C-alpha cells in the first residue's frame, strides 16, 4: 500500500511506499525538500503536517519536541505516513537535481593542517562526472555498512577528478581514529552522494553572511570557490569561529581570497585565545561578532555551518534580535555520531 503526499505551497505530489519516510520517498522521486542529517538529529527537515497522519521513528527531542509535534510539526526524515498527507514545506527546487551515486574513491592525500584536523583528498573514478551543488555532502560507507557524513570542500565541476574533505578527529570515533592512525594514501573507500539542501540560492541578490565554526568551513570554502568561478558580485562576509589560532587551518587561503575578490570579506573570531598567541583579532562567540557588525539582518541571507550549538544560537538570535527572515537562514549542523544517539 502506498500513500500520496502533497507539498504546499509548491503543489507537488509524490507517492510514499509502506514503511517509507517522507524524505526518502521525496528524494527517490527528485522532489526537493530541505534536509540535513537524515537521522532525526538536526531538525533541518522540520515541516508542518497540514492534513493526514504520520508516525515518527527514533529522533532526538532537541530536533522535534513534544510541544512542536503537538503543534503539527514533523521531521520528514523519520516521519512515515499512515494516510494520504498534505505537508507545508519550503521546496528546494535544485535539491534533487543530481542523481545519487555510489562510487569507489582512492585516498590521494592526507594533510594534517591542525592538531585535530585532517584534509583528505579523494580521487574519483577516471572519466566519471560526479556532479553536486557546492555545500552538499557525501556519505562514506564503512566496511560494516556504517556511514559517516562529510561536506565537500571543493567547488562543483562538470568533470571533476577529486574532492576534498575536512575531518576533525573525534577520539574514540570509529572512522576518524582510522583516518588519524592507520589510513594511508592509496587506500580505497566507498562514497554515496550528493546529499543535502545546503547550497546558495543563486536567484537572490541579497548580501550573504557565511558563518562557520571549526570544520564547518568546508562547505563554505566550496561555496566561495563556486561563486568565484561564476563571477559572483553579491557581497558576502565569511565569519569563521575557532577556539585558538592554530585551529584557523585555512586562514591564509581565506585572506588571499578576500584580497582577491572585491565582494568577499573575511572575519576570523577566536573564542579561547591564549596570551602567548599574540592574537589581536576578534574574540568571543562567532555569531555574536556577526550581530555586532550587522545588527540589521532583515535584508540578508545567512548560510551557517558547524557545531549544532552555534547553528542553533545563530538562528535564534539572528531572527529574534537582528530581524533576519526565518526563511533566509540556511544551515548544515555538523551532528556527530555521539550527538545522534544523545537525548
Residue 153's closest CA among 143, 175, 168? 168
List, for residues 269-315, the tens digit of each pLDDT value: 999 999 999 999 999 999 999 999 999 999 999 999 999 999 999 99
Alpha carbons 256 and 147: distance in angstroms, whole number? 35
Instruction: Check whether 340 has a pLDDT greater than 60.
Output: no
Q: What is the pLDDT of residue 159?
A: 43
Tens of pLDDT, residue by residue over 73-130, are 999 999 999 999 999 987 666 656 787 889 999 999 999 999 999 999 999 998 888 8
Report CA Rg, the chain.
20
Q: Regarding predicted confidence, which is higher, 179 or 156?
A: 179
Alpha-carbon gap, residue 41 to 186, rounded angstroms = 33
Express each pLDDT in 203-223 by its tens digit. 999 999 999 999 999 999 999
Domains of the chain: 2-88 (3.10.20.30), 101-195 (2.40.30.10), 208-340 (3.40.50.80)
Q: Given this model, what pLDDT does residue 161 score?
A: 87
State how far the Cα of 150 lies from the Cα of 153, in Å rounded to an integer. 9
The pLDDT, as a whole number, for residue 158 is: 45
Structure confidence at residue 139 (pLDDT): 95
Q: Provide CB contacts within 8 A for 47, sequence distance 6+.
A: 33, 34, 73, 74, 75, 76, 87, 88, 89
**Residue 10 banded pLDDT, cuts 50, 70, 90:** confident
Query: 24-45: per-residue pLDDT in tens?
Result: 998 888 788 888 888 888 888 8
| Mean pLDDT, the chain, whole residue set | 91
> What pLDDT score was predicted for residue 100?
83
Nearest to 115 by CA among 218, 238, 214: 214
The three-point CA angle 273-175-121 to 5° equals 75
Which pLDDT value is given to residue 95?
58
- What is the per-residue DSSP string for 285-333? -HHHHHHHH-S--TT-EEEEEE-HHHHHHHHHHHHHHH---GGGEEEEE
The tens digit of pLDDT for each residue in 124-166 reads: 998 888 889 999 999 999 999 999 999 999 997 644 689 999 9
DSSP bridge partners of 111: 119
**How sure is the predictor about 226, in pLDDT bands with cuts at 50, 70 and 90?**
very high
pLDDT tens-digit readout, 307-317: 999 999 999 99
Span 183-195, pLDDT tens digits: 999 999 999 999 8
DSSP element (H, E) containing 239? strand 236-242
**pTM as predicted:** 0.86
Amino acid at each position: 500500500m502506498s500513500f500520496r503526499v502533497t507539498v504546499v505551497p509548491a503543489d507537488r505530489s509524490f507517492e510514499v511506499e509502506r514503511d517509507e519516510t517522507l524524505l526518502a520517498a521525496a528524494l527517490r522521486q527528485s522532489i526537493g525538500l530541505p534536509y540535513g542529517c537524515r537521522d532525526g538529529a538536526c531538525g533541518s527537515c522540520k515541516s508542518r503536517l497540514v492534513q493526514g497522519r504520520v508516525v515518527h521513528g527514533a529522533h532526538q527531542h532537541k530536533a522535534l519536541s513534544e510541544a512542536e509535534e503537538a503543534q503539527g510539526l514533523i521531521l520528514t526524515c523519520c516521519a512515515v505516513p499512515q494516510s494520504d498527507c498534505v505537508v507545508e514545506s519550503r521546496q528546494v527546487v535544485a535539491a534533487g537535481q543530481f542523481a545519487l551515486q555510489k562510487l569507489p574513491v582512492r585516498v590521494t592525500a592526507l594533510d594534517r593542517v591542525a592538531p585535530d584536523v585532517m584534509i583528505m583528498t579523494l580521487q574519483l573514478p577516471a572519466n566519471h562526472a560526479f556532479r553536486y551543488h557546492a555545500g552538499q555532502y557525501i556519505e562514506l560507507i564503512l566496511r560494516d555498512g556504517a556511514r559517516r557524513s562529510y561536506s565537500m570542500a571543493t567547488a562543483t565541476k562538470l568533470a571533476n577528478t577529486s574532492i576534498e574533505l575536512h575531518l576533525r578527529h573525534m577520539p574514540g570515533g570509529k572512522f576518524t581514529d582510522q583516518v588519524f592512525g592507520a589510513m594511508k594514501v592509496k587506500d580505497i573507500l566507498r562514497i554515496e552522494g550528493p546529499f543535502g539542501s545546503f547550497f546558495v540560492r543563486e536567484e537572490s541578490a541579497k548580501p550573504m553572511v557565511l558563518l562557520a565554526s571549526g570544520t564547518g568551513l568546508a562547505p563554505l570554502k566550496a561555496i566561495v570557490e563556486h561563486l568565484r568561478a561564476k563571477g559572483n558580485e553579491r557581497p558576502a562576509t565569511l565569519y569563521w569561529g575557532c577556539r585558538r589560532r592554530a585551529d584557523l587551518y585555512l586562514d591564509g587561503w581565506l585572506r588571499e581570497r578576500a584580497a582577491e575578490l572585491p565582494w568577499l570579506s573575511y572575519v576570523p573570531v577566536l573564542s579561547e585565545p591564549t596570551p602567548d598567541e599574540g592574537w589581536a583579532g576578534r574574540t568571543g562567540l562567532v555569531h555574536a561578532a556577526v550581530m555586532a557588525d550587522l545588527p540589521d539582518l532583515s535584508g540578508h541571507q545567512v548560510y551557517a555551518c558547524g557545531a549544532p550549538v552555534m547553528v542553533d544560537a545563530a538562528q535564534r538570535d539572528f531572527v529574534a534580535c537582528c530581524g533576519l527572515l526565518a526563511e533566509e537562514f540556511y544551515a548544515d549542523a555538523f551532528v556527530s555520531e555521539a550527538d545522534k544517539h544523545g537525548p
